[in-house]
């Protein structure tokens, strides 16, 4: 059976080029300004953490490459993605879980609150989507540390085409609040331009939370 690709897939040559590389991943860490988002969340008593998660899911709806996944030597395109997240267990060890795709903030916020509470109280490593599922994006947060780079564990054989997003401690300044964020992706599906687009689109959401954080 020949590998299948989405109609008019634009990265056939790049996809083939990176299939045989030992480390087929690309990642960028950069600052985002969350000043407006944090102020809006404080005003309306919303969770900034869950708001950032939801903003990331909105970006995946705008950027097609974030919904591509490598499968059986080809590429499939998902229409919707779940939001995979980490939670801190009562023993201060990480738990993995996922928030099913939701069409709006109210639904996402309710689902996220329930999912994260369940995972935090569990003694199981995996809660939610089974290991190996690819219709999602991985998210994590290190709120205790401001970083300028971060290496996340990535499978090598076979390589994984699920993007990974992680952000760190805020840097509060008089006129802005910066948040470091890193995104890693499979280089066969994305280049530096695509990662830069992710930051640009996400920043547009963070700058205008009233557009999508309906209260």
The model's pLDDT over 112-128, given as tens digits with 9 standing for 90+, comes to 999 999 999 999 999 87
The pLDDT value given to residue 2: 79
- pLDDT, tens digit, for every residue of 16-69? 999 889 999 999 999 999 999 999 999 999 999 999 999 999 999 999 999 999
Q: How high is the pLDDT of residue 130?
A: 65
Decide: 60 and 205 in contact? Cβ < 8 Å.
no
Count of all residues that appear for the chain in the document: 215
Domain presence at residue 63 = yes
Reported confidence tier of residue 1, pLDDT bands at 50, 70, 90: low
Q: Look at the chain and report how many structural domains it folds into.
A: 1
Residue 10 belongs to a domain: no
| H/E segment holding residue 120 | helix 105-120
Which domain covers residue 156, as residue numbers? 23-207
Query: Helices 48-62 and 192-207: crossing angle, nearest 10°?
Result: 130
pLDDT of residue 121: 95
Q: Report if residue 31 sits inside a domain.
A: yes
d(CA 91, CA 107) in angstroms, rounded, equals 29
Is 103 within the bounds of a domain? yes
Residue reference for tokens 């990480």: 94
Residue 131 has pLDDT above 80, yes or no: no
Residue 85 sits in a domain whose CATH number is 3.30.559.10
* Percent of the chain whose pLDDT exceeds 90: 88
Average pLDDT over residues 149-162: 88
* Cα–Cα distance, 156 to 76 (Å, whole number): 20
Q: Mean pLDDT, to the nearest integer, of 93-116?
A: 96
In a domain, 15, yes or no: no
* Short-list 206, 175, 174, 203, CA closest to 30: 203
């Amino acid at each position: 059976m020949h590998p299948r690709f989405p109609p008019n897939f634009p990265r056939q040559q790049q996809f083939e080029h990176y299939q045989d590389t030992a480390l087929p991943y690309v990642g960028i860490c950069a600052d985002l300004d969350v000043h407006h988002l944090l102020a809006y969340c404080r005003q309306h008593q919303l969770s900034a953490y869950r708001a950032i998660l939801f903003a990331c899911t909105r970006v995946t709806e705008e950027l097609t490459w974030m919904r591509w996944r490598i499968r059986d030597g080809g590429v499939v395109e998902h229409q919707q993605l779940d939001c995979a997240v980490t939670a801190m267990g009562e023993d201060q060890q990480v738990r993995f879980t996922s928030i099913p795709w939701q069409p709006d903030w109210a639904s996402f916020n309710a689902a996220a609150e329930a999912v994260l509470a369940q995972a935090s109280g569990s003694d199981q490593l995996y809660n939610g989507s089974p290991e190996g599922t690819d219709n999602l994006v991985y998210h994590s947060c290190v709120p205790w540390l401001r970083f300028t780079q971060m290496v996340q564990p990535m499978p090598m054989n076979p390589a994984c085409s699920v993007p990974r997003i992680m952000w760190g401690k805020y840097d509060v300044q008089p006129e802005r609040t910066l948040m470091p964020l890193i995104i890693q992706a499979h280089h066969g599906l994305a280049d530096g331009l695509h990662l830069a687009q992710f930051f640009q689109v996400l920043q547009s959401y963070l700058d205008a939370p009233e557009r999508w954080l309906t209260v």
